[in-house]
Amino acid sequence: MRSPRNDLSKTLTPKKAAKAKSQRSVAQKPKPRTNRESREDSVDRIYHSALRLFVQQGYRSTSIDQIAAGAGLTKGGVYFYISKKEHLMAQMLDEIAGRYIDAVIAEIEARKLTAQERLVAFMHSQVSFALECPEEVMLLVMSSVEFSKSDDMLTKKIDVIYERMRKFVVQTIEEGLANKVFKTKLHPYAAASFYVATHDGMMLEWYRRAAQIDGPELVRVFREAFLGVLS
């Protein structure tokens, strides 16, 4: 009834995320004084435990038991906060979409920029976010693979997120074409697909080879390749 279901922490910040990642696998429980602190803490630990595991092993291969262990709880403890595994994932995706797509777009729309500047700003914002919260972005990319062509709720949710991303690119390119900023013969939809393809591919490659890869250099290549295609 009054259990705190369905309102996963909105308080997660990149700092916290980064910190959590550097801790060891089973989070320590810092004996919080108040109930409120204890709740926020548990929610947070569940969120990060799930995030890490979903990215590492995939959503379907991650068990609630593993999430619980990573959060220093038992299965039942996790279910005190989430009503369904699917909902946990859905909320994670919603939050990520909000911060990685919607917030970024909103911020760009708020500024007065040319089409080209907006595209570049979009790329930079996404890259910055990915540098701060790599797992969040990876969750998106990897889920888009794990759930492609299924028919559950999560598939739809992910499709919608990607659609928003494509739409922004398409609209910006169309505007750029109208203003003669871009002069490519490429259809805007194809260009958006190329953006998404490069985005996903780079994230994957970066995740797979973080140790051996020079992130900034890859990003620079990404930008040049994409803008090159548009000119």
Q: Which residues contact DNA by CB under 7 A?
A: 2-4, 33-36, 38-39, 41-42, 61-66, 68, 73-77, 79-81, 83-86
CA distance linking residue 112 with residue 180, whole number of Å:
17
State the binding partner of 36 from DNA, a second copy, none, CB within 5 to 8 A by kind. Answer: DNA
Nearer to a second copy, 113 or 190 (CB): 190
Alpha helices in 111-183 (DSSP H): 115-132, 134-146, 153-178
From the number of C-beta atoms within 10 Å of its C-beta (0-12, 13-18, 19+), residue 77 rates as: middle
Task: Find where tokens 């203003």 sit.
Answer: 179
Nearer to a second copy, 38 or 113 (CB): 38
CB of 27 to DNA, least distance (A): 11
Is the CB of residue 90 less than 8 Å from the CB of residue 154? Answer: yes
Binding residues (CB under 8 A) for a second copy: these are 1-2, 55-58, 60-61, 65, 68-69, 74, 141-142, 144-146, 148-150, 162, 186-187, 189-191, 193-194, 196-202, 204-209, 212-214, 217-218, 221-222, 224-226, 228-229
State the binding partner of 208 from a second copy, DNA, none, CB within 5 to 8 A by kind. Answer: a second copy
CA torsion, ordered 216, 221, 223, 227, to nearest 10 deg: 170
CA distance linking residue 156 with residue 90, whole number of Å:
10
CB of 97 to a second copy, least distance (A): 17
Q: Which two tokens stand for residue 197?
A: 């393809």
Nearer to DNA, 5 or 223 (CB): 5
State the binding partner of 79 from DNA, a second copy, none, CB within 5 to 8 A by kind. Answer: DNA
CB of 201 to a second copy, least distance (A): 2
Dihedral sign for Cα atoms in the order 190, 191, 194, 200: negative
